[in-house]
Amino acid sequence: MKIKISWPAGIIIAMSAFMLFILSFVIRAAFIPQYEHHLVSEDYYKDELNYQGEIDKLNRGIELKENVYLKKVDDGLLIVFPKEFNFKTISGTIKMQRLSNDKIDFNVPIKLASNEFLIQDKDLVTGRWDVKIEWNVGENAYMFKEKIMY
């Protein structure tokens, strides 16, 4: 016995199969924890409004004789601040952000005993990190951003 399918029925079957295929991806993305997705920032509208201020701070840091730089050492990640400033007058925060897993993001207040700051190896996981350092000297605010592979 041969089954005959008319062309309108074939089109309906093909479209239904395609819709089920697409719907399976929507269900996976929405309900299965393995495919969890999240925003980089929960307050992205507020962040966008403050973006010009970030650009100004970044430019102020670039204009220095020596900007902040990062160096991987055996003990962890060494952050070196410019020697032109007294390390006792530097304050701010270091934000370490892992885009693939927001549960391991952390912020560290800057408290210096020299012009170097060490983030311990035990606090960092191997992979890509976004480093954002906001620091102040007196009334001048500076910023340093870099993407690193640790």
What is the domain-level CATH number for residue 117?
2.60.40.10
Number of domains in the chain: 2
> pLDDT per residue over 10-39, tens digit each?
999 999 999 999 999 888 888 877 766 666
Q: Based on the domain organization, do 24 and 90 belong to the same domain?
A: no
User: Which residue carries 């701070």 as its tokens?
Assistant: 57
Q: Based on the domain organization, do 60 and 18 belong to the same domain?
A: no
Q: Which residue range forms the structural domain that includes residue 28?
A: 1-37
Q: How far is residue 124's CA from residue 118's CA, in Å, rounded to a whole number? A: 11
Neighbour tally for 134: CB within 10 Å: 19
> pLDDT per residue over 48-95, tens digit each?
778 888 899 999 989 989 999 999 998 899 999 999 889 899 999 999
Ramachandran class of 148: left when φ > 0, alpha when ψ lies in -120 to 50, beta otherwise: beta
CA angle, 145 then 99 then 150, to 5°? 65
As to burial, measured by CB atoms within 10 angstroms (0-12 exposed, 13-18 middle, 19+ buried), residue 150 is middle
